[in-house]
Chains A and B, each alone.
Chain A
């Protein structure tokens, strides 16, 4: 009987007819099916699907509950089923996206807020009436993550907030453009934190990317190169960054980008004592360029959680009249002109590209058409 949790049977959704029922349930709540799902669960009353949700890595997505079960614990039931299924897969920490006004429901289930973006309507915030909140559950939290890494040396040194900078880079791979940005930013502050996107979705693996950033900036004494972790442009905070543009949809990208920036402003920057963010202008990648526009809106606005940040956009470093970017470097590798790369990257990057370790990465670049 609807409106009652008893007698609901939990099972994984595999078959075509169940998948269709799930698609209809999601659509009735204005949702589309998530991508890259590890596991899809359903709560069934006989053959009728009453609630569904799925696990995508560490995040719980596509949660929809039949209207008849609303308010009687259907959401709690599907969320706990997903958490238990995720734990059995060895995961201890979970994320959940919801609308800001619904965050309270999940707070009762033990979720704590990471950050949220209020519904927008202006040209700079084109996600009308939606907004998004990111919550987390389990072992570890954003504040714990920051505390572990924002080492005492920053606060002990007594740097003023305005004299501590932050840069977020992917460095796929590290070029003279990145070097110029970091060198300039480091010259403007007492301490510069460089966060390298940790998600391993790029053609250059994370350990190689961060190693080349470290080697390429080792002469800059006030620079600290850090792992970006799960809270800076990760599969969790910014899922659409890693999709091809047509799959995400413009508004979803902007909304995720805003959330990522809101986390930086509310959680990361205060923990590290960062008062200023630096960014290079983006001539090529549409996703990154939209992200840069939003930076001004989210980071510097007087409204929002956490103190407002200063933002400095720096023109792309150019060589021979053209901006130097990692995508140009990858294009040169793809067309087999590795020798031309020497002019665009620091020695450490070029040496690595010519080492045996690079062979499989170069092979993948030649075979791919990925943005990343």
Chain B
């Protein structure tokens, strides 16, 4: 499943995360993750993001997560929605 267009989900509001996915040149997936709680939860946010992306089979994409303290279920929902939007035509 290739990223075909730029897609976003979520927001920069407190307790949410803004996920943006854009098509990239190669077949791989690049990540850029930033969070206001990077020190405490950075590793978990990164592993959840990679897990959701690889389960979806997304390829050729730049995935950017701007976290504002979202719960894990929120982050998963935002990721799944953004991936679905990026892959649909």
A contacts, CB < 8 Å to B: 5, 73, 76-77, 79-81, 83-84, 87-88, 90, 92, 108-110, 138-139
Contacts and interface: CB of A to CB of B under 8 A. Distances in A.
A80 B9 CA distance: 10
Contact of A109 (B8, B22, B64, B66): B66
A110 to B, nearest CB: 4
B36 interface: yes
Contacts of A76: 11-14, 68
Given A87-B8, A139-B22, A73 B14 contact: yes
B29 to A, nearest CB: 15
A92 B18 CA distance: 13
A5 B68 CA distance: 16
A340 to B, nearest CB: 50
A77 B10 CA distance: 10
B11 A80 contact: yes
A110 B34 contact: yes
B13 A87 contact: no
A83 B8 contact: yes
Given A77-B11, A84-B8, A84-B18, 16 more contacts: A73-B14, A76-B68, A77-B12, A79-B12, A80-B11, A80-B12, A80-B18, A84-B11, A87-B6, A87-B20, A87-B22, A88-B8, A90-B6, A108-B68, A139-B22, A139-B64
B6 A83 contact: no
Contacts of B6: 87-88, 90, 92
B8 to A, nearest CB: 5
B62 interface: yes
B37 to A, nearest CB: 11
15 contacts: A5-B13, A73-B14, A77-B11, A77-B12, A79-B12, A80-B13, A83-B12, A87-B20, A92-B6, A108-B68, A109-B12, A110-B12, A110-B18, A110-B34, A139-B22
A201 to B, nearest CB: 26
Nearest to A5: B13
Interface residues of B, number: 17
Given A87-B6, A109-B66, A139-B62, A92 B11 contact: no
Nearest to A77: B13
B11 A81 contact: yes
CB-based closest 6 A-B pairs: A80-B12, A80-B11, A110-B66, A84-B8, A109-B12, A76-B12
Contacts of A73: 13-14
Contacts of B66: 109-110
A243 to B, nearest CB: 30
Contacts of A79: 12
A209 to B, nearest CB: 30
A63 to B, nearest CB: 13
Contacts of B13: 5, 73, 76-77, 80
Given A87-B6, A108-B36, A109-B66, A92 B12 contact: no
Contacts of B12: 76-77, 79-80, 83, 109-110
Nearest to A81: B11
Contacts of A83: 8, 12, 18
Of the candidates A79, A83, A87, the one having the most CB atoms from chain B within 10 angstroms of its own CB is A87
A329 B6 CA distance: 44
Contacts of A139: 22, 62, 64
Nearest to A137: B66
Contacts of A88: 6, 8
A39 B18 CA distance: 20
A264 B75 CA distance: 39
Interface string B38-73: 000000000000000000000000101010100000
B82 to A, nearest CB: 10
Nearest to A108: B36
A77 B13 CA distance: 6
